[in-house]
Homo-oligomer: A and B are copies of this chain.
Amino acid sequence: MKRPTILVLGAGYGGLSTVVNLQKSIGADEADIVLINKNDYHYESTWLHEAAAGTLSPEQVRYDIKDVINPGKVKFVKAEVQAIDIKGKVVTTNVGTHAYDYLVIALGFEGETFGITGLDKYALSIANVDAARQIREHIEYQFATWSLEDEKDDSRLTIVVGGAGFTGIEFLGELGNRVPELCKEFDVPAEKVRVICVEAAPMVLPGFDPELVDYAVRQLKAKGIEFSIGTPVVEATPEGVNIKKGEDEFEFIKAGTVVWAAGVRGNRLIEETGIENMRARVKVDKDLRAPGHSDVFIVGDCALMINEEINRPYPPTAQIAMQQGDMCANNIIALMKGNRTAEFVPDIKGSIASLGDDDAIGVAFGKKLMGKKASFMKKVVDNRSLFMIGGVGLTLKKGKFNLLK
């Protein structure tokens, strides 16, 4: 019998977790495991807002894939996936095609701009390492230019953050700490800088406990961050954003930097596979397979699962993605052995949103946390991701050890 080929697309939390769990449990002669990823590195997508704000080096949020895979068991291909042919069981990349017996789609998220005019073109997005790095450079360039120019355009120092969800709030937390550094570095008076969070929904951090949300908003406001809540962005231009403040009331915010952190969707390639999806996210079966496709698993941000307790989808988190990768590996092995697959049940240990390096809010093991305790736990969680994929060595290399700041 021919050895099956297991093809894993994407080296984010879900894909990499699948691969490291497969390589633990499968002998080198049992299957050909192939991992395809655009970059030769993995990045901690939950840390990207730090690289974007400039509070963490881009180098610190990523690590080499070769550092966590076993080359005797897994073949890594640096390539960009261009098409997934579910019927023909073959994946096309920019450097060749790959047939598979089992496919794991772990292609992660893309930003969603909901068709709002100009956002694609004029807003920056914390989508990956390249994009985060460019946001940091963009902001620094604006500050440097303001300092130099004779006729000062103060709007260069205005940063609009679209979205008061998890990413938006965490990014604002970092900016709250970063702006005073930027002011010092570029000789900019602090009172000239504006950071404005614009959110369409009537609330901040939906799903979080109101007490924690109040704390977060209070802390961010104390750092000078402004909030405009319940005011959708209706247009982005090269000069800023137009927001809707009432029935026929609009306000244009002139801003040198607009970062859109308000929506995610699955990878667009999924929409071309013929698999039923919603914004490129697939409502997977309980064993993580795509409905009707017994050889296709979907994990991470492209997988949609409903939390039946509240009848809402689980959020696309690293925690769930890594648990899915674990289960996905087990289920592939089960199929190879002719056994039954198991059902995936998320084990949510908590959810913590940072408010900068020194503050956070959240729930862990059923307990509400805020301030230094929450910030401590957040770093523990961040280090845990590293540990689960790469063990002690990787954790020591890339972990966060200013735990008690």
Tell whether A137 is near chain B: CB-to-CB under 8 Å.
Answer: yes
Q: Which candidate, A128-136, A274-282, A335-343, is the interface stretch facing chain B?
A: A128-136
Q: Which candidate, A7-15, A140-148, A357-365, is the interface stretch facing chain B?
A: A140-148
Residues of chain B lying within 8 A (CB to CB) of residue A131: 148
Tell whether A185 is near chain B: CB-to-CB under 8 Å.
Answer: yes
Asked if residues A133 and B137 are in contact (CB atoms below 8 Å), the reply is no
Spell out A's residues near B (CB within 8 Å): 58-59, 130-131, 133-134, 136-138, 140-141, 143-145, 147-148, 185-187
Closest 6 CB pairs of A and B: A137-B144, A134-B144, A130-B148, A137-B141, A141-B141, A130-B147
Residues of chain B lying within 8 A (CB to CB) of residue A187: 130
Residues of chain B lying within 8 A (CB to CB) of residue A145: 134, 137
**Cα distance A134–B133 in the bound complex, in angstroms:** 17
Report A33 CB to chain B, min CB distance, Å. Answer: 26
- Taking the full assembly, how many copies of this chain does it contain? 2
Residues of chain B lying within 8 A (CB to CB) of residue A141: 134, 137-138, 140-141
Report A110 CB to chain B, min CB distance, Å. Answer: 13
Report A135 CB to chain B, min CB distance, Å. Answer: 9
Report A94 CB to chain B, min CB distance, Å. Answer: 12
**Cα distance A185–B136 in the bound complex, in angstroms:** 13
Q: Choose one: B130, B134, B137; the contact of A137 (CB below 8 Å).
A: B137
20 chain-A/chain-B pairs, Cβ below 8 angstroms:
A58-B185, A59-B185, A130-B144, A130-B147, A130-B148, A133-B148, A133-B186, A134-B141, A134-B147, A134-B148, A136-B144, A137-B137, A137-B140, A137-B141, A137-B143, A138-B141, A138-B144, A140-B140, A140-B141, A141-B141
**Cα distance A192–B279 in the bound complex, in angstroms:** 36
> Please, which residue of chain B has its CB at the minimum distance from the CB of A127?
B148
Of A143, A144, A145, A186, the most chain B CB neighbours within 10 A belong to A144
**Cα distance A130–B186 in the bound complex, in angstroms:** 8
Report A143 CB to chain B, min CB distance, Å. Answer: 8
Report A251 CB to chain B, min CB distance, Å. Answer: 29
Report A153 CB to chain B, min CB distance, Å. Answer: 14
Of A58, A137, A147, the most chain B CB neighbours within 10 A belong to A137
**Cα distance A193–B374 in the bound complex, in angstroms:** 44
Residues of chain B lying within 8 A (CB to CB) of residue A147: 130, 133-134
**Cα distance A144–B130 in the bound complex, in angstroms:** 7
**Cα distance A131–B187 in the bound complex, in angstroms:** 12
**Cα distance A148–B132 in the bound complex, in angstroms:** 9
Residues of chain B lying within 8 A (CB to CB) of residue A137: 137, 140-141, 143-145
Residues of chain B lying within 8 A (CB to CB) of residue A140: 137, 140-141
Of A58, A138, A141, A147, the most chain B CB neighbours within 10 A belong to A141
